Structure 1
Amino acid sequence: MNRWPRVGDTGMDPVTDLLFIAPRARAIVSPAGRWRTRALAFGLIFALPALVLGLRVSVGPAQAQARAADEAAARELAAIVGLIDAGRFNDARARIDAAAQQPGIDARERAALEFQRERMRRIRLDFTLDRAQAEQKVRAQIPDLTREEFDAWDRQGLLEAMTIDGDTRYFKRAPSNLFRLSAQALARRRADAKPLSAGPMETLNAHQREVRDAALERGYGAPRRVRIAQSLTVAADAVPAGKTVRAWLPYPRELPRQQEAIRFLASAPAAHRLAPASALQRTVYLEQIAQAGKPTRFEVGYELTVYGQYRAIDPDKVVPAPDNAQTRPHLGERAPHLVFTPALREFSRKAVGAETNPYRIAQKLYAAVDAIPWAGAREYSTISNISDYALRAGHADCGQQTLLLMALLRLNGIPARWQSGWVFGDDGYTNMHDWAWMYLAPYGWLPVDVTTGRFDSPDPQLAGFYLGGFDAYRVAYNDDYGRDFVPAKRFDRSETVDSQRGEVEWEGGNLYFDQWDYDYKAQVLTTKQ
C-alpha cells in the first residue's frame, strides 16, 4: 500500500507541491531527496485525516505557532531558490545568512539553506566562461566567425548563459553544444573538426533487429555478457592525511529478464560492503585512509548478463492503467523535478490533443520530447526543477528528457518510473545514460528511451523500437532517482538525482566533482569467457 512520508523519509510518493504548507509554495527537497522542512509532516499529520475522512481538525496554540513557523521557513526557502534561479546570488546569500540566524531553526532546515549556498558555488563551476572566452571557443571551430553571427545565436538562446549579479556567464559546454543545436553553426564548422560523437545504438543496426526478433515471443532476448571495471580517484591532498575517505560506487542489482547472473570479481580496497538488492540506487561502499601527496583510488569489478527488451503493442488492446500497488507510486507529482506546472499542462495539451488511448498518448508525448534536441547538460544538482528546465531551455540531455517525459506521462495517467546507468559497445565505447519505464495495461511495464528516439525505417516495429524496447548494451544501476544509499551518506551528494560516477566524502564534508575523477570500462565477453 502507498504510504505517506515521515520527516526525512526519502521513499516518498508523489503528493509534492506542499499543499499543506503555504499556498502554492514550491516544494523544496534536499539533494538526497529529503524534505528539509517539518511543514510537510505537520500538514500530513493534521490535514490528511480531514481530507480523507471529512473531519474537522483543531490544533492547540503551540501547534499552530509551530506550523506557522514551518510555513514561513518553507516560503523563505522557496524565495531563496527563486533568487538563485534568477541569478541574484548576492540577494540569495543575504537571505540565507538572515534565515540561518533565526531562533528555533533545526539542523535539517539549516542544511537546506547551506545546500543553496553550495548550489551557487556549483553553478559558478558550470558557468565559467565570459563572452570573450565563449566567442573564442566558437571561433576555434569557425575561424571566420563574425560578431554578428555569435550575437544572433546568443539571442536565439543557442548559447546557454546565466546572468549572475549582473555578470553574464556562459555554460562551459555552450560552445560545443552550439553545433548540436544549430544546423547553420554546424555547416560553418571547419572541415577538419572532430565529428560530433554518437553511441553505437543511436542508429538502427543489426542488434535492434536481433532483439526484436528474439523478444517477440517472450519480451526479452539477445543477451550480452559484460565485464565492468569502475574506479574513482580522489585528488592528492583533497583530504588531510590520516582521515578516512568514504566512497560509494554504483553496483547493479538482479532484475529478472533484464540483468542477471551478477558475479562480483574484486574491489580495491578488498574490504567492501554491498548494498542490499532492495536498494533502488545500489552501491558498493569502500573506505581508505588518505595519504599525504598521494591520490586515493577505489575500484570495483564484476560481470553480469544483460537482455534486450521488446514488446509489440496493439494500441486497440491498451486500456487505462489500474490503480494498484504496482502503479500507484509512479503516478502523480514528486517535487521538485516532477511537478505539473501550467507550462507542462499546456505542452501536454498541444501534444496530446483529443487523444484518449494511453499508447497513442505515449506516442505523441514521446515524439514531442524527442523533438527537443540533445545537448550536454549542467550538473543536475544546480537545477531546481529538471522537467521544467527541459521544457524551457530549448535543449536537454537524456536525464532531462526522461524526467520531462515521465512528468508528461504521469500527468496523462500513465505510470512512469526512472531507470539509469551506463551504455557500452563492442569496441570499448561507454557513456552514462538515463531512460524510463511506462506501464501500459495489459502489457505491463515497458522500457522507454526517448533520447535515442525514433528511427527512420519503413518497418514500424524498428522505427519505434525504443518506445517499448531497448538494447542489451546497457547496465542499470538506478531504479529511481534521488534515493538514499546504504550505508547512508552523511553529506549531500555531488549528483543529487543519478548515481553513475560514484560519490565520496570525509568527515569534513562532501567531495565534489572538481576534487576527483572516475573511469568506467566495459568488456563484452564471448561465450567462452
Structure 2
Amino acid sequence: MKNLLYIVFLFVFVSACSTKPENRPYSWDDDLHRRLLTDFCLTESQVKDYIRKYIPDVTDEQMRQWEVSNALECMVLDGEKRYFRNAGPNLFRVDSACYDIKIAKEGTALSGSEKVNKENLPEVITAVKKENKAIVVPKRMRVTYTLTVDTNAVPAGKLVRCWLPYPRTDQARQRDVKFISASEPDYVLSPQECRHSTLYMEKRAVQGEPTVFSETFEYTSCGEWHNLRAEDVLPYDTTTALYKEYTAEREKHIVFSPRLRELAAKLTAGETNPYLKAKRIFRWINDHFPWASAREYSTIENIPEYVLDNRHGDCGQVSLLFITLCRISGIPAHFQSGFMMHPRAWNLHDWAEVYFEGVGWVPVDQSFGIPAFARNADEEYFFLGGIDSWRMIVNTDYGMPLVPEKKYPRSETVDFQRGEVEWEGGNLYFPQWSYHMDIDYLNY
C-alpha cells in the first residue's frame, strides 16, 4: 500500500513540475498575454499623478469619459484594470481639450527632427529644381549599432541568436553601403531580395556577463522629391504584376473591411486621378489622427482599424492606414521602414511608397504629414512624394521571414527595426535587452 501511495505521489509531483511555465510548450496566447502586461503596466493612481501636472483636480468621472472615448488607453488583464505605459502623455496628444490645456501651460515648439527638416526640405526642393533629378542632397553616415542582452537573461553556455538591422542595398536613394566590422567573426547578411535587411550573428552566453552584439557600417542617404502634378499621372495598367500585388489585401494589417471600403469610397468620391485621390487620403489622415506613442504592434489585431477606433496613431500605424486606403482605391502602395537619422533626433520610423503610372514609386511619410513649419505649397505637401535626406531604409514590407529563419515569433511581428534575439528556450522580448546607435555624420 505504501509503495502504491509513493508511486501516486511521484506521478503527481512529476506532473506538477512538467506544467511549470518554463516547461510548457510555446503558446502564442501566453506570449501575447505577457506582452500586454509589459505594455499595460500602470495603475490608475500612477496615471492620475501624471494628469495632475496639468489638471490638478482631475475626477474619476473625467477618467471614465476619457476611457470611453479611447483617449485614455486601458484594459483589464488578470482581473485588474491596467493602463498603457504612455497613457498619460497620450491623453494630452489625443484629446483636444487636454491638448489645449497643456499647450496653454507649456507652449509649442518644433521637435528635433522638425528643426532639421525645416532646413533640409528647402535644400532638397531647390536641388531637385536646379539639377532636374529627384534624388539629391546626400548625407553620409558611419553607424555602430549595438544590441545588449541582459546579464543572465540566457543560461550560461547557451547559444544566443541575433538579427541586427542593416541598410538596404537595393534602394536608389540609399547608396554606397559599406560593411566595416561585426562583433562576431562569423556573420550572415540577408540576400537582397529579403524584405527585411539583416546582419545575423550568434554567440554563447557567459555567466555574469551581458551578451553583446554590434555592427559598424557606412552608407549615404539622399533626399527625394517629386514635384507631382495630377496631369503627369497616367491611368494604371491593371494587368501588370506590380499593380495586382500592391493593390491586394495583405494579411493581417491590410484588410479591405467593409468599414475601410466605405471610408475609401467616401474620401475619393467623384475623383478619378490617382494622385488627387492619394492627396485626399493623405490630408484626411493628417487632419484627424494626431501622433501618439504606440503599444507594440504585435499586440494589435488590425492596425488600421485600431487607428480608426482610437483616433490616433504613430508613424507605422498611420502609414498602414494610408496604404490600405490607397490599395482599396486602386493605388499601388507598400510599407517601408527603418530609422529617421536626423542629428540629435534619430529614432525608429515607418513610412510608405505609392506607385503612380508615368512617375514610378514615390515616398510618402504620412506621420510627418503637413509640416507645422511649411512656408509654401511645395513644403506643405512635401511628404506626399518626397522624403528628407535623413533616413536608413531597412524594410520594404512588414511581417516577412528573417534570414536565417527565426524559430519563435518575433518581438516585432510586424516591423523589423530594433533587432531580434532568441535562444533555444524562446524569444527574448524587449525588457530583456537594449539597443543603441552611435552615428558619425561625415558630411553634415
TM-score, with structure 1 as normaliser: 0.74
Alpha-carbon distance in structure 1 between the residues aligned to 2:407 and 2:42: 33
Equivalent position to 2:320, from 382, 403, 407: 403
Equivalence for 2:185 = 270
Residues of 2 paired with 1:342 and 1:120: CA distance?
29
Verify: 1:345 aligned to 2:227, yes or no: no
- Residues 113-144 of structure 1: CA deviation (Å, up to 9, x unaligned): 92133112211211112322221232245444
Flag the 1:202–1:394 CA change in 2: closer, same or farther, 3 A.
farther
Could you tell me whether the CA contact under 8 Å between 1:455 and 1:463 is conserved in 2? yes
Equivalent pairs, count: 416
State whether structure 2 residue 248 is matched by structure 1 residue 320. Answer: no
The Cα offsets for residues 413-439 of structure 1, whole Å up to 9 and x where unpaired, read as 10001110111223x321110000000
Mapped to 1, the partners of 2:255 and 2:231 lie a distance apart of: 30
The 8 Å contact of residues 374 and 395 in structure 1, kept in 2 or not, is answered as yes
Q: Give the equivalent residue in structure 2 for 1:460.
A: 377
Distance between the aligned counterparts of 1:147 and 1:514, measured in 2? Answer: 32
1:390–1:404 contact (8 Å) kept in structure 2: yes
- Name the structure 1 match of 2:250: 334
Q: Pick from 144, 169, 173: which aligns with 1:254?
A: 169
Amino acid at match of 2:253: H
| Residues 1:503 and 2:416 aligned together | no
User: Does the 8 A contact of 1:264 with 1:302 survive in 2?
Assistant: yes
Partner SS for 1:359 = helix
Partner of 1:412: 329
Q: For residues 234-275 of structure 1, what are the alpha-carbon distances to aligned partners after superposition, in whole Å with 9 as ceiling and x for unaligned? A: 111110001111100000121343101011121112332211
* CA gap 1:156/1:476 in 2 versus in 1, 3 angstroms: same
Amino acid at match of 2:405: A
Q: Is the 8 A contact 1:143 1:190 kept in 2?
A: no
Q: Partner of 1:115 in structure 2? A: 28
Residues 71, 310 of structure 2: 8 Å contact kept: no
Matched, 1:446 2:359: no
Q: Distance in 2 between matches of 1:305 and 1:248?
A: 22
Q: 1:368 to 1:227 in 2, by over 3 A?
A: same
Partner of 1:287: 202
- The 1:148–1:510 alpha-carbon spacing in structure 2 relative to 1, beyond 3 Å, is same
The match for 2:17 is none
CA positional deviation for 1:461: 1.6
Find the aligned partners of 1:196 and 1:173 in 2 and give their Cα distance.
21
Q: Which has the higher strand share?
A: 2
- Residue 363 of structure 2 aligns to a residue whose secondary structure is strand
Judged with a 3 Å threshold, the aligned counterparts in structure 2 of structure 1 residues 341 and 113 are, in CA distance, closer, same or farther, namely farther
Partner of residue 381, structure 1? 298
Structure 2 counterpart of 1:63 = none
Q: Which residue of 2 aligns with 1:436?
A: 352
The amino acid that maps onto 1:277 is: Q
2:94 counterpart residue number: 181
1:59-208 aligned within 5 A: 114-164=27-77, 167-189=80-102, 198-201=111-114, 205-208=118-121
Name the CA distance, whole Å, in 1 between partners of 2:82 and 2:110: 26
Judge which range, 351-360 or 297-306, deviates more. 351-360
Distance in 2 between residues matched to 1:235 and 1:120, nearest whole Å:
22
C-alpha separation in 1, matches of 2:298 and 2:107: 30
SS in 2 for 1:326: helix
Contact 2:170 2:192 in 1 (8 A): no
CA distance change for structure 1 residues 451 and 487 in 2, over 3 Å: closer, same or farther? same
Q: Is the 8 A contact 2:72 2:87 kept in 1?
A: yes
How big is each residue's C-alpha offset from its partner over 1:282-331, in whole Å with a ceiling of 9 and x where there is no partner? Answer: 10111111011111111111110111111111202322322313333211
Query: What is the SS of the residue equivalent to 1:205?
Result: helix
Distance, in Å, in 2 between the alignment partners of 1:125 and 1:202 is: 33
- Indicate if the aligned counterparts of 1:227 and 1:523 stay in contact, CA closer than 8 A: yes
Q: What letter matches 1:120 in structure 2?
A: H
Residues 150 and 268 (structure 1), Cα distance of their counterparts in 2 relative to 1, 3 Å cut: same
Letter in 1 for 2:120: H
Give the share of equivalent positions with the same residue, in percent.
39
CA positional deviation for 1:509: 1.0
Match of 1:421 in 2: 338
Q: Normalised by the size of structure 2, how large is the TM-score?
A: 0.88
SS in 1 for 2:41: coil
Query: How far apart in 1 are the matches of 2:383 and 2:68?
Result: 34
Residue 237 of structure 1 pairs with residue 139 of structure 2: no
| 1:241–1:290 Cα contact (<8 Å) kept | yes
Tell me how far apart the structure 1 counterparts of residues 110 and 395 of structure 2 sit (CA, whole Å): 25
Pair 335,234 (structure 1): closer, same or farther in 2 beyond 3 Å: same
Aligned pairs for 1:34-73 (under 5 A) are: none
- Pair 1:204–1:520, CA change in 2 (3 A): closer
Quick one: distance in 1 between partners of 2:184 and 2:410? Answer: 22
Give the superposition deviation at 1:193: 6.8
* 1:4-63 superposed Cα distances (whole Å, 9 cap, x missing partner): xxxxxxxxxxxxxxxxxxxxxxxxxxxxxxxxxxxxxxxxxxxxxxxxxxxxxxxxxxxx
CA 1:256–1:161: 2 relative to 1, 3 Å: closer
What residue is the counterpart of 1:103 in the other structure? none
Give the 3-state SS of the residue equivalent to 2:145 in structure 1.
strand
Measured at CA, do residues 228 and 192 of structure 1 come closer, stay the same or move farther in structure 2, by a change above 3 Å?
A: farther
**How far has the Cα of 1:521 moved from its partner?**
2.7
Q: Is the 8 A contact 1:321 1:439 kept in 2?
A: no
Which digits, 9 at most, give the CA deviation of each residue in 1:130-173, with x for residues without a partner? 32222123224544434444344333321111234653321111
2:144–2:215 CA contact under 8 A, matched in 1: yes
State the partner residue of 1:215: 128
Distance 1:233 1:166 in 2: 34
For residues 189 and 144 of structure 1, the distance between their equivalents in structure 2, rounded to whole angstroms, comes to 15
1:299 matched to 2:214? yes
Distance in 2 (CA, whole Å) between partners of 1:322 and 1:446 is 18
